[in-house]
Structures are given as structure tokens and as C-alpha cells.
């Protein structure tokens, strides 16, 4: 579990934001070891997400394609912007999977400058 800055809830005085690169490095490290990454994003009292949180999560990532992990089938997808400027990805699930449980969609992304970190013991 992690936060985008140093606090678990919204704190107007906490300006120690993690960079998108740090978040991605941590995500890759955790997933590579079979884990799950719970990322806390503390909303303001009125329920809105702080602008800096949105900037970190919308970090220069471009989705190139979506595929079904089980058989590599390419899936149609659409990227759009919703309220508060958030990005949303909609993936069209094939008819034969709409009643199936436990499948995984892989999003292939492209970054301006990829982040690679060697695995250590």
C-alpha cells in the first residue's frame, strides 16, 4: 500500500508528492513479484481529487493496444476524458467472454521515457 504523498487522507500542507516515475517503478516491482498495488488517493472534503494527484496519474502514458491475455486476441478500446479531467479507458469485451469470469486484459502502453529498474534479490 502506498500514498501519492506522505498522508493517507487529504492534507493541504502535504506537498511531498511522489513522481509518476516512482509510482510506476513501485508498481512494476510489486507486480513482477506477484503482488497487488493498492494506491491511496486522498480526496478533499468535498470529494474532489487534488489536481496534483490527477497530474501524477495522467503521466504521459499513451495506450497502443489492448489484448486478451489468455489468447492474445486484440480488443477494441476507446480512451476518453471524463469529469475533473480524468482519463477513462473503455475496452470492448468479446461476446464469448461476457458471461465468463476470471480473464485479464493487457493494455500495452507507450511512455515518453520508459522506466526500467533491475530486480534485486
Among 79, 70, 62, residue whose Cα is nearest residue 114:
62
pTM value is 0.50
- pLDDT > 60? residue 42: yes
- pLDDT > 90? residue 53: no
Among 112, 47, 54, residue whose Cα is nearest residue 82:
54
Amino acid at each position: 500500500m502506498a500514498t501519492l504523498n506522505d498522508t493517507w487522507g487529504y492534507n493541504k500542507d502535504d506537498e511531498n508528492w511522489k513522481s509518476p516515475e516512482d509510482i510506476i517503478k513501485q508498481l512494476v516491482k510489486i507486480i513482477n513479484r506477484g503482488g497487488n498495488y493498492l494506491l491511496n488517493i486522498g480526496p478533499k472534503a468535498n470529494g474532489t481529487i487534488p489536481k496534483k494527484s490527477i497530474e501524477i496519474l495522467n503521466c504521459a502514458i499513451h495506450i497502443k493496444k489492448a489484448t486478451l491475455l489468455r489468447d492474445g486476441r486484440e480488443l477494441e478500446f476507446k480512451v476518453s476524458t471524463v469529469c475533473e479531467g480524468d482519463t477513462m479507458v473503455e475496452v470492448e469485451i468479446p461476446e464469448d467472454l461476457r458471461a465468463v469470469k476470471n480473464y485479464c486484459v493487457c493494455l500495452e502502453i507507450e511512455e515518453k521515457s520508459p522506466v526500467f529498474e533491475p530486480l534485486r534479490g
